[in-house]
């Protein structure tokens, strides 16, 4: 049950992140502000749901610990014990703004803006230099990429064949790049063709 719940919540968070990036790219002004407000409410819901689920797990573990100490026929009122434990946990306020998912959402919205601005301001010479400096080696296979795809959640690029092979072995694997701050599983819907790296590969081959 816990694995199913976790996968469902993570899938919802991934979808929210994907929509957030598209909103930042395609909307502006008041329309964008309204969309961002709704996305934050959705993310807040996922954060609170996850925290509630975690607290429920802690309550059950505490119940198991207490019942393990009971001897003979001295069984307590289990239902009342559970209610008291749940009540005591309700005092633990969830600070949504400090949760990793919330920070990731805000970062995605901010980073998208920075990327868009840099693309508008940079000239052809700067773009060409950026392409040359891009790493075109797949972090998984350690070979030159053929079909580069970018994980829109963390920004890391892999060869499509390599990441798909990895996902077949482990469908809930995280980003394989060492030191990647993203703690969420790689999802195929979050992998997009990286045209910039693709152009850099083509430039290297043409030399």
* pLDDT score for 80: 73
Q: Does residue 155 have a pLDDT over 80?
A: yes
* pLDDT score for 96: 85
CB atoms within 10 A of CB 130: 14
Question: What band does 50 get if pLDDT is binned at 50, 70 and 90?
Answer: confident
Give the residue carrying structure tokens 């700067």.
126
* pLDDT score for 2: 57
Mean per-residue pLDDT for 29-46?
87
pLDDT tens for each residue of 98-121: 888 888 888 777 644 434 444 444
Q: What share of the chain has pLDDT > 70, as a percent?
A: 74
Q: Does residue 182 have a pLDDT over 80?
A: yes
* pLDDT score for 1: 44
Q: Does residue 147 have a pLDDT over 90?
A: yes
User: Please, is 196 exposed, middle or buried when counting C-beta atoms within 10 Å of its C-beta (0-12, 13-18, 19+)?
Assistant: middle
* pLDDT score for 163: 94
Kindly report the pTM of this predicted structure.
0.46
Q: Does residue 193 have a pLDDT over 90?
A: yes
29 or 90: whose pLDDT is higher? 29
Per-residue buried b or exposed e for 68-83, using 16+ beta carbons within 10 Å of the residue's own CB: eeeeeeeeeeeeebee
**Residue 144 CA neighbour count, 13 Å, CB half:** 8
- Tell me the C-alpha distance between 123 and 114, whole Å: 16
* pLDDT score for 89: 60
Ramachandran area for residue 29 (φ above 0: left; ψ -120 to 50: alpha; else beta): left
Question: What band does 76 get if pLDDT is binned at 50, 70 and 90?
Answer: low
């Amino acid at each position: 049950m816990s694995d199913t719940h976790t996968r469902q919540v993570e899938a919802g968070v991934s979808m929210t992140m994907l929509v957030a990036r598209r909103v930042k790219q395609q909307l502006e002004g008041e329309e964008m502000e309204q969309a961002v407000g709704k996305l934050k409410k959705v993310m807040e819901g996922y954060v609170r749901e996850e925290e509630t689920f975690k607290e429920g797990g802690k309550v059950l573990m505490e119940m198991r610990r207490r019942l393990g100490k009971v001897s003979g026929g001295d069984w307590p009122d289990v239902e009342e014990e559970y209610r008291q434990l749940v009540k005591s946990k309700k005092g633990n306020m969830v600070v949504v703004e400090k949760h990793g998912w919330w920070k990731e959402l805000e970062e995605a919205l901010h980073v998208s803006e920075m990327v868009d601005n840099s693309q508008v301001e940079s000239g052809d010479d700067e773009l060409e230099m950026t392409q040359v400096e891009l790493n075109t080696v797949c972090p998984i296979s350690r070979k030159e990429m053929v079909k580069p795809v970018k994980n829109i959640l963390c920004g890391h690029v892999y060869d499509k064949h390599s990441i798909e092979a990895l996902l077949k072995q482990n469908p809930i694997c995280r980003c394989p790049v060492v030191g990647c701050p993203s703690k969420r599983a790689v999802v195929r819907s979050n992998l997009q063709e990286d045209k910039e790296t693709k152009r850099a590969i083509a430039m290297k081959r043409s030399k």
